[in-house]
Structure 1
């Protein structure tokens, strides 16, 4: 697994811990991260919502420099699946 994914898993576990739904972040050219009731981990499984972003956009969302809603509206963050779960995740990352 890439260093980016490993670092993101650590950061997500610090930031949101467990999550009541299932979500997957796909980071272009790096890999995928699953977030669920057990926390964040590297993985590529089925999820209620899948979010796709570049490394730069994803890192910006994690650091708080990029607003997830703005990234979505400008096409830098793509969302497939349950939009309600995506919004819950966005709030957890804020």
Structure 2
């Protein structure tokens, strides 16, 4: 089942973060997610001090992830296994602290 990327980042993830702020703060990092292609966009996710997810790219994220909308579908289904495959295939680009990318699964698990 395809995930609606716009709905995920604009509605579902912000609601999940506000409902699970303490759990989100344990991740303790800022992420910039850039999804290219149809249905994509740019979102800034803060799990450090002010827990929130919002559209835009203010800069200064600890971990920046760039991925196509098509590949994001695979990544979202299984961030651990598919994330590694996409990364090594050059389809998932990570700048900044690459270890933080592994914590994205925890972020998505809060929602599930």
Confirm or deny a common fold (TM above 0.5): yes
Measure, in 1, the Cα distance between the counterparts of 2:91 and 2:78: 15
Aligned length: 90
Structure 2: 5+ residue stretches without partners: 18-23
Q: What is the RMSD computed on CA atoms of the aligned residues? A: 2.5
Task: Determine which structure has more spread, i.e. the larger CA radius of gyration.
Answer: 2
What does residue range 1-94 of structure 1 map to in structure 2 within 5 Å? 5-9=5-9, 10-13=11-14, 17=17, 18=24, 19-29=27-37, 30-37=40-47, 38-46=51-59, 47-64=61-78, 67-93=82-108
1:28-75 CA-partner distances (Å, limit 9, x unpaired): 133201111223221112211111110011122223387212211111
Higher helix share: 2
Structure 1: 5+ residue stretches without partners: none
CA drift at 1:5:
4.8
The normalised TM-score by structure 1 is: 0.73
Measure, in 1, the Cα distance between the counterparts of 2:44 and 2:107: 15
SS in 2 for 1:40: strand
